[in-house]
Structure 1
Amino acid sequence: MASLGGLPKELLLHILSFLEPPELVSVQRVSREFSKIARDDVVWRARCFRESSYLTSLRSRLRLQDLNHALLQAANGVRAPSEEDGDTNEDSWIKSISGLEVDGDRISSSQRLEKERVRITANWDPIFPTEQVSWYDEYIRRQGPIAVSWFQMPYTQVTGTKSRSAADFVEARGVALYYPEGEERLDGKVLAVSPLDDGGVCLWHVSGSSTTRRGAIVARSRPGILFAGPKTRSSQIDSGVTECVSVDSQRHRAFFAVQQYLIEVDLPTLSVIHRETFPWSIATLSVASPAVPLTVGTSLGLHLHDYRSRTPPRNDVVDTVDAFDGTKVQLEDIYQDPYRQLFDDSPLPPYVPLAQPGPVSILHLPVEGQPDSLSDDIYVAGRFKSILHYDRRQFSRIKGTVYSGANLCSMTSLPYPFSYEDSQARRHARLSLEQVEKSKSGPGRTLIACGEYKSKGSLELYGLPPVGEPARNRQTCAHSKLMSVVNHGSCLAVADGMGYVKWFERDGFTEVRRHKIGHSERTEGPSIFASMPGSGDLARKLLPTRSAAVGGNDNVQVNNNDLLFWTGEKLGLLSFSSQPGFVPSDFEKEEEESVTPEQVQLEAQEQVYSQKMREALERHANDVRFASYLGGSSQSF
């Protein structure tokens, strides 16, 4: 290796390009210089292309065309070309795409073939000119092994000596990501925030640290802080609302939708600081951002909730709420009488009625070419046939609609243009280098939605402003409903009703890979339903742990963008590794080890003492009742 280190970097890179991916990974351990060269974007971009499903489908299409052409030539008595004519398989399919005719000059032919390779690669390349990406990271996401890890389960508050059962499990009713540093950083802490079925709030560690295992519970509030009084069917969290929690990391606030109440929680203290009442049940929330108001979708309308203009709560109010014990007096500053609002003279917040009920997803569209900045465009989708478009500056009226025809469940976007005609031509490698560059550098943004159309999954892409025909993949994306869609690196990740997470190219048609979530049960003594086909968990919501707006080619950490998912009850993590990062039994062992023999003995003594106290109080109560009976009897005589 010492002799190789003295070679020019270009020559060394050319030598390393002949190694297989496992060997390239081993070379990175030699030194920092070798690690930097072995992660070169040119090498791994070529690897991603050569092993892509795009190239596989393109070759299959060409083989079918060549077969039809050979049959036609055979019918006319013309000999079909063979490999003995001097062309390799790769050269032959490149010629088939481009229609090249090899002349007598081998140097000229090889240059023309190399230009065609570059052109076909450009047709496949999903990256836009202003977008930064690490192709080594992309190769791991596209070709590396996938492992599923399940987060620590919250249970009801029981003593350490009592064994826990499935009946003690508390379900998570939603999920959002929280960055305690105030913004997303490459090496920053990432937490998952969920409302629990018992009315509490729970935080999990997603990124992990030196002291906390990934997937472990780091904080949990007392039960009932999200309920306005005792838990009843009319006050509990609706399990049918997917987007029921939104987090503002800069202000360290979380917003929870519980029936018609929007409850604001201070995450560092896990205490309720405000509650807003809406006229109808809340069906969905937008992503909270410090730059724009929160958009709240109720069953019959849309509301703008500008929590930024509200004065910070007094310390005594927070302390009072934190000491909540269920009495109405202690919550009178937060939970006001709803009928009192009927006689309130304050102006109503911005509100827009919906012609049809059932909003499910609200999207704040980013600024063109700036994924970390939000525009004034608001898009709403749900159980109606069109996607509704509103402008925050003119919120009182609808700005436009985009017809879908499907029942949509989730939306995301790209701050880059999309054209259906150009996308179809690129799928068949028909565009020139100039045409590819023009299609990527034009103005516009991309709206991406998923849902269900006639019992099949529907993945839809729209160019904004409307550019030609929209792309709708309703034949091959899924045999059942698509639950969620997100941007994951250079691909689109979707979760379907069969329990699969699938990755597609940005054309919405070419599938990159898929993975089944499976079961979250323990390996020791699973239930009889674990081996039944089609009985795995479903991902109702997907969240990438890192957004595309963070990082670049020079400072991206390798393999740090996993997929967090929520099944409707539990949280899990899809990571690109050969082994799961954690399993539920790990947390159970840590809890058992954390209980010392002294604590067990102390708890046993407390239980004995409590039992004796209950018996003494019961004897005292019986003596009092007997004395009162004797007193009453003597008076009756």
Structure 2
Amino acid sequence: MDKLPVEILTSILDLLAPREKVQLQSVSKKFFDIARDNNQWRLHCYEQSWAAKQASRRAARAETLVSDAASLTTLGQDSLRDLIEPSIQEDHEEAGVSWGERARAATEWDTSTEGEHVDWYSEYIARQGPVSLSWIEQPSAPGGKGKQECAYEVKGMGLLKDWSSARQNKIVAPLEDGSVCIWDLNHAHCASSQAKKGSILGRSEPGILTTNLSGRRESAPSKTALEFINLGEGVSVDSLRQRAYLAIGNVLNEVDLNTLRVVSQQRYPWSIFALSQETDYSVPLTLATTLSLQIYDSRLSAVEEEEAISSRCEQVSISAPELGIFAHPDSPLLQLQPNGQPPTRIRSPEPSEKGANYAPLFQPGPLSILHPPAPHVNTILLAGRFPSILCYDRRFFPRLQKTVHSGGRICGLASVPGPRFPVFSDSVYPESHSVVACGDYNGRGSLELYNLKSAEHNTPPDRTSNLDSEYKNRQSAASSRLLSVGSHGTRIVFSDAEGNIKWTERDGRSEVRRWNINTSQPQIHFGGRQERSGEEPRGLWPSQSPGSHEVARKILPTGGNLTGDELLVWTGERIGRLKFSIPAEYQKEEEEDDDDTFMHAEVDEATREEMRHRQREDWEREQYGDYMRRALERQADEVRWMGNRGLG
């Protein structure tokens, strides 16, 4: 077999099923390369998609109608069945289609942009592989004498990316006691590193986020200044500078992740509701308060800026050519202000200052800020409880450039495809991006797509990008409000208020798969410890058990492949890792079964496969039972609610 040409081997491997191709990868390096062919796995992704199934059904229906249109009276029982159920002939139709036709259909279905690299093997696993959920290590406070430890709630989530070959990513989050915690999220393949995933790497002193570093006593301190808004958009991480920006009430804390100390603290007159996330280019942070949109330039803290400006003014002559004064040629050129004073800070001043450089909001309730990927480096998009998306240009800030009407209340914004890391000098950026928004419209979930493209020549000179509405899915997205959205591979992922996490194609219509975090039993916690209450009620009429009504307030794709392709889930109290693999306890059971079989050499491969299949069936049966139990409990709650409604 190894001596055959690659073309012949590829044709032979095309007849194998995806599971058989996975097993073939362990035979040799040559078979590994052939079995990992990207075009082959893209074809497998297409064949399992909704578009391929619809095309197959249409082809089967058309051929059946044409062949049997002459005489319907002579049709037999089998032909009538085929006419009523044309999907039976799908496999026969696919078998008669050539590889070239299938490849062309897959190319037309592929929604990846030009220059975007997609690992279709990892994409197939994310689309068709098993899903498991595990919770990272929960920080806790030591209990007193005879008392148990008290677990702290996690008040947000951010991802610190490592762009080196080590891929030592980390999770950053604030805790309810005002401290900052960091978890391990490495992408290593070795067993020892994988076992450390989800463990706590470091934790700061408590209260550093709620301490007033200005040294000034407030006459009437606001209560909200010490409280978390708890909306999910109050954490932003700068991976290049190793800094995290954490918003608590009206206070923005800048934390050095190497020392876990607050290096800068900025207070605003209103509560902070949203922070911009990391992009593939370096720009100042944008934050939205209750009634304003502001730019926070974190390149220098306020004290550092004032010291730098004063030191430059003392050592360097201010350049004023009209007065015959010139700066030193080796020093930076500093220009006087119109009033003759030295240069001021580059950050946005306080809103209370005269001539403040901030954008006022006519309606309160901002919830999400988006900095689109390159080349839209000057664009800022803001959405929230108001019915429009606001578009700003950083060069002409705070002037409002454009508003795009939505009609719904938007909770989250994301760009599709997402930012690429790392960015190379020869990177080719597409002319247009898709901006996806999630929220609700008249009580139902709303998934909206917008087209963001570079401005044309006939547009105003102060506008670099145009945002136009493209598609709004307000029928099949969800029956409840959508809470968070992101770009996950070649798919769009979003969460709703019922605990569902759904994946759709980039068109926003075709659903790929779904997962509910409340039905993922058993849920494995850090260290393989299984937490399952033995007193969990299973009757029809009792109310739902604690922990069965969690929702994903924020979802965050990690952007990895294979073992690194995970989805971080924040429920408002803890963080979970949604992985595309079999749960750890079942893997362990399979390994033990394999070891025992190998030692005794009495059970053949068919018996081992039967054992794995039986374990898989038991797991799926248990999941189905939990799902039906929760469905019946919800129905019972609805019956009681409707009955009590008439009793006042």
Fold-level similarity (TM above 0.5): yes
Pick aligned residue for 1:33 from 4, 17, 30: 30
CA contact (8 A) 1:252 1:268 kept: yes
Matched, 1:301 2:292: yes
Offset, 1:128 = 2.4
How big is the shift at 1:350?
A: 2.9
Q: Which residue number in structure 1 is paired with residue 170 of structure 2?
A: 191
Corresponding residue for 1:573? 577
Say yes or no: does 1:271 pair with 2:257: no
Change (3 A) 1:38 1:279: same
**Does the alignment pair 1:215 with 2:228?**
no
Distance 1:351 1:71, change over 3 A: farther
Counterpart CA distance in 2 for 1:530 and 1:450 is 34
Q: Which moved more, 1:271-280 or 1:200-209?
A: 200-209
What is residue 209 of structure 2 aligned with on the other side? 226
Does 2:262 correspond to 1:283?
Answer: no
Q: Quote how far apart the aligned CAs of 1:277 are.
A: 1.1
1:20–1:582 distance in 2 versus 1, CA, 3 Å: closer
Secondary structure of 2:141 counterpart: coil
The corresponding residue for 2:364 is 357
Greater relative CO, 1 or 2 (CA 8 Å, sep 6+) = 1
The structure number with the bigger radius of gyration is 1
Are the aligned partners of 1:365 and 1:413 in contact in 2 as well (CA < 8 Å)?
Answer: yes
Q: Matched residues in 2 for 1:76 and 1:394: separation?
A: 74
Structure-2 change in CA distance of 1:68 and 1:509 (3 Å): farther
2:118 is aligned with 1:133: yes
Counterpart residue number, 1:177: 159
Q: Which moved more, 1:7-16 or 1:380-389?
A: 7-16
Aligned 8 A contact 1:237 1:257 in 2: no
TM-score for the superposition, normalised by structure 1: 0.69
Q: C-alpha offsets along residues 188-235 of structure 1, whole Å, 9 cap, x if unaligned?
A: 111111111111111111226646711111111111111136999533
The Cα of 1:392 is off from its aligned counterpart by 0.4
State the match for 2:435 in structure 1.
447
Task: Give matches, 1:537-548, under 5 Å.
Answer: 537-546=550-559
Alignment equivalent of 1:523, drawn from 527, 531, 534:
531
Name the amino acid aligned to 1:205: D
3-state SS in 2 of match to 1:367:
coil
Report what 1:613 is aligned to: none
* Partner AA of 1:395 in structure 2: F
For 1:5, what is the secondary structure of its paired residue?
coil
Q: Distance in 1 between matches of 2:295 and 2:415?
A: 21
Contact 2:415 2:434 survives alignment (8 Å):
yes
Q: Is the 8 A contact 1:304 1:349 kept in 2?
A: no
Q: Could you tell me whether the CA contact under 8 Å between 2:187 and 2:563 is conserved in 1?
A: no
CA contact (8 A) 1:137 1:559 kept: no
Task: Give the Cα separation in 1 of the matches to 2:249 and 2:467.
Answer: 39
Which structure 2 residues correspond to residues 37-186 of structure 1 after superposition, within 5 A?
Answer: 37-60=34-57, 89-90=89-90, 116-158=101-143, 164-165=148-149, 168-179=150-161, 181=162, 184-185=163-164
Identical positions, percent: 37
| Whole-Å separation in 1 of the counterparts to 2:371 and 2:398 | 17
- 1:19 is aligned, of 16, 20, 24, to 16
Aligned mates of 1:273, 1:293 — CA distance in 2: 17
* Map of 1:405 onto structure 2: 407
Offset of residue 63 of structure 1: 6.4
Structure 1 CA distance, aligned partners of 2:128 and 2:352? 60
Q: Counterpart of 2:513?
A: 513
Partner of 1:482: 482
Q: Tell whether the 8 Å contact from 1:197 to 1:236 is kept in structure 2 after alignment.
A: no
Q: CA offset at residue 16 of structure 1?
A: 1.8
- Rounded to whole Å, the distance in 1 between the matches of 2:75 and 2:469 is 42
* In 2: Cα distance, 1:393 partner to 1:358 partner: 25
Alpha-carbon shift at residue 24 of structure 1 (Å) = 1.5
TM-score, normalised with respect to structure 2: 0.68
What one-letter code is carried by the residue in structure 1 that aligns with 2:159?
L
Instruction: Report SS of the residue matched to 1:538.
Output: coil
Task: Give, in angstroms, the shift of residue 47 of structure 1.
Answer: 1.3
Deviation at 1:484, TM superposition (A): 0.9
Residue 420 of structure 1: aligned partner: none
Are the equivalent residues in 2 in contact too, given 1:451–1:481 (CA < 8 A)? yes
| Compared CA separation, residues 569 and 67, structure 1 to 2 (3 A) | farther
Q: 1:334-413, aligned counterparts within 5 Å?
A: 350-368=357-375, 375-413=377-415
Aligned 1:294-333 pairs, distance under 5 A: 294-310=285-301
Write the mapping of 1:526-605 to structure 2, written as runs, cut at 5 A. 526=534, 528=536, 532=544, 535-546=548-559, 557-580=561-584
Cα distance in 2 between the residues matched to 1:486 and 1:46: 24
User: Separation in 2 of the partners of 1:468 and 1:272?
Assistant: 40
1:426-468 CA-to-partner distances (Å, cap 9, x unmatched) read xxxxxxxxxxxxxxx9842211111111111111111124698
The farther-off stretch of 20-29 and 381-390 is 20-29
Paired AA for residue 452 in structure 2: L
Q: 1:94–1:116: 8 Å Cα contact kept in structure 2?
A: no
User: Could you tell me how far 1:239 is from its partner in structure 2?
Assistant: 4.0
Q: Distance in 1 between matches of 2:62 and 2:351?
A: 74
Please tell me whether the aligned partners of residues 126 and 490 of structure 1 are also in contact (alpha carbons under 8 angstroms): yes
Question: Could you tell me which residue of structure 2 aligns to residue 107 of structure 1?
Answer: none
Q: How far off its partner does 1:31 sit?
A: 2.1
Deviation at 1:574, TM superposition (A): 0.6
Amino acid at match of 1:235: A
- Contiguous gaps of at least 5 residues in structure 2: 306-348, 419-428, 454-465, 588-648
Question: 1:349: Cα distance to partner?
Answer: 6.1
Q: In structure 1, the residue corresponding to 2:371 is in which secondary structure?
A: strand
Tell me if the contact between 2:276 and 2:370 (Cα under 8 Å) persists in the aligned partners: yes
Q: 1:578 and 1:357, CA in 2 relative to 1: closer, same or farther beyond 3 A?
A: same
Q: Deviations over 1:562-605 (max 9, x none)?
A: 1011001100001111114999xxxxxxxxxxxxxxxxxxxxxx
Structure 1 residues 81, 390: closer, same or farther in 2, change over 3 A? same
Secondary structure (helix, strand or coil) at the match of 1:235 reads helix
Shift of 1:17: 2.1
Deviation, 1:115, is: 5.8
Q: What secondary structure, in the 3-state scheme, does the structure 1 residue paired with 2:562 have?
A: coil
Task: Write the deviation string for residues 404-444 of structure 1: whole angstroms up to 9, x where unpaired.
Answer: 1111111111269xxxxxxxxxxxxxxxxxxxxxxxx9842
- Given residue 570 of structure 1, which amino acid in structure 2 is its aligned partner? R
- In the other structure, the counterpart of 1:463 is 451
Determine which of 171, 184, 195 is the counterpart of 1:205.
Answer: 184
Distance in 1 between residues matched to 2:292 and 2:240, nearest whole Å: 28
Task: Indicate conservation of the 8 Å contact 1:214/1:581, yes or no.
Answer: no
Task: Give the 3-state SS of the residue equivalent to 1:361 in structure 2.
Answer: strand
- Tell me which residue corresponds to 2:315: none
Equivalent-residue separation in structure 1 for 2:469 and 2:278 (angstroms): 32
In 1, distance between residues paired with 2:235 and 2:51? 37
Q: Is the 8 A contact 2:142 2:148 kept in 1?
A: no
Structure 2 CA distance for aligned equivalents of residues 387 and 344 of structure 1: 26
Counterparts of 1:259 and 1:139, CA distance in 2: 42
Q: Which stretch has the larger CA shift, 233-242 or 356-365?
A: 233-242
* 2:488 is aligned with 1:502: no
Q: Structure 2 CA distance, aligned partners of 1:530 and 1:570?
A: 25
Cα distance in 1 between the residues matched to 2:538 and 2:278 = 38
Letter in 2 for 1:296: L
Q: Is the 8 A contact 2:444 2:480 kept in 1?
A: yes
CA distance in 1, matches of 2:504, 2:574: 25
Assess, with a 3 A threshold, how the Cα gap between structure 1 residues 82 and 530 changes in structure 2: closer, same or farther: closer
Helix, strand or coil at the partner of 1:234: helix
Q: Whole-Å Cα distance in 2 between the matches of residues 213 and 573 of structure 1? A: 13
Q: Distance in 2 between matches of 1:348 and 1:158?
A: 52
Q: Output the CA distance in 2 between the equivalents of 1:498 and 1:343.
A: 39
Partner of 2:239: 249
List alignment gaps of at least 5 residues for structure 1.
96-109, 315-340, 369-373, 417-440, 548-556, 584-637
